């Protein structure tokens, strides 16, 4: 990739915008519009992470690392430079595309009795919960046509992982939960792999912004665990979307536990 293309990417994705999308919040403002907060790259106990929004650069006085948005993506997601650039390209174009995809799947849910029956079997029965989690259904064979009709090129659908290399819908007969920059699909078929995500990061703890201020947080493994507890009235619940916490999820829990 040329230097000009890299500069254009950094202009399109400002560092502060990317940090805030990953739950970073400044602790205080310094002169010339600079911001200081906890470092998301190490276990920081007092603000040491300096961000200059005008220059779109960061530097941490604690761990000594700094750079631009590409360098941050490398360090935060533990990627090499080409993979970090590819991730940022995907992140830049993904939100509108995923919004349209999630909306389409939501429309499909009540058109397919097998999907509603599966949710009922798993204990998900509240219309309020289904709306809260924006649960949808991917029947397969129709998403590609819908999105290309809206003007999304086929190559963009392939890059996002929504369409296979052969041009078929990647999600087929799956209950779909929209996540932060991703989609989780739970298969209704016993012959298909049960779990499916789009390529890239799965994000932080589910619905974290809604529970982070709670005095107590209930952490569960998966989205269906979250669903039945939320439906039962527990609003201080979150999930890790798997039995392993990633670094970002650990940091979120530590921030809540120690009040950083």
Check: CB of residue 183 under 8 Å from CB of residue 98. yes
Nearest to 86 by CA among 183, 182, 178, 6: 6
Consecutive 10-residue runs of the chain (260 residues): their mean pLDDT? 84 88 86 94 92 96 96 91 83 81 96 97 96 97 94 84 92 95 93 89 85 89 96 95 81 72
Instruction: Give the tens place of pLDDT for each residue, 105-138.
Output: 999 999 999 999 999 999 999 999 999 999 999 9
Cα angle at 83 between 82 and 88, to 5 degrees? Answer: 100
Amino acid 78: pLDDT: 86
Instruction: Give the tens place of pLDDT for each residue, 40-74.
Output: 999 888 999 999 999 999 999 999 999 999 999 99
For 44-56, letters b (16+ CB in 10 Å) and e give beebbbbbbbeeb
Amino acid 149: pLDDT: 92
Amino acid 101: pLDDT: 95
Amino acid 236: pLDDT: 94
Token output for 162? 């929504």
CA distance 74 to 80: 6
Query: Within 10 Å of residue 217's Cβ, how many Cβ atoms?
Result: 17
Amino acid 259: pLDDT: 58
Amino acid 39: pLDDT: 95
């Amino acid at each position: 990739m040329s230097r000009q293309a890299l500069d254009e990417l950094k202009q399109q994705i400002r560092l502060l915008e990317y940090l805030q999308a990953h739950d970073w919040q400044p602790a205080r403002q310094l002169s010339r519009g600079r911001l200081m907060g906890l470092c998301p790259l190490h276990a920081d106990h007092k603000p040491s992470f300096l961000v200059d929004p005008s220059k779109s650069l960061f530097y941490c006085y604690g761990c000594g690392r700094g750079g631009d948005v590409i360098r941050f993506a490398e360090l935060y997601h533990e990627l090499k430079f080409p993979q970090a650039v590819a991730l940022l390209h995907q992140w830049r174009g993904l939100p509108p595309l995923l919004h349209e995809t999630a909306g389409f799947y939501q429309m499909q849910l009540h058109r397919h009795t097998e999907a509603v029956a599966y949710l009922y079997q798993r204990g998900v029965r509240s219309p309020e919960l289904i709306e809260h989690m924006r649960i949808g259904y991917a029947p397969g064979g129709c998403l590609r046509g819908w999105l290309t009709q809206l003007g999304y090129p086929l190559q963009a659908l392939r890059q996002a992982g929504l369409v296979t290399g052969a041009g078929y819908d990647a999600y087929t007969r799956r209950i779909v939960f929209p996540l932060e920059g991703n989609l989780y699909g739970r298969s209704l078929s016993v012959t298909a792999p049960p779990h499916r995500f789009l390529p890239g990061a799965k994000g932080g703890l589910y619905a974290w912004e809604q529970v982070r201020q709670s005095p107590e947080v209930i952490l569960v493994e998966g989205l269906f665990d979250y669903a039945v507890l939320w439906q039962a009235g527990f609003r201080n619940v979150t999930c890790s979307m798997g039995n392993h916490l990633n670094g970002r999820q650990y940091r979120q829990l530590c921030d809540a536990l120690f009040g950083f």
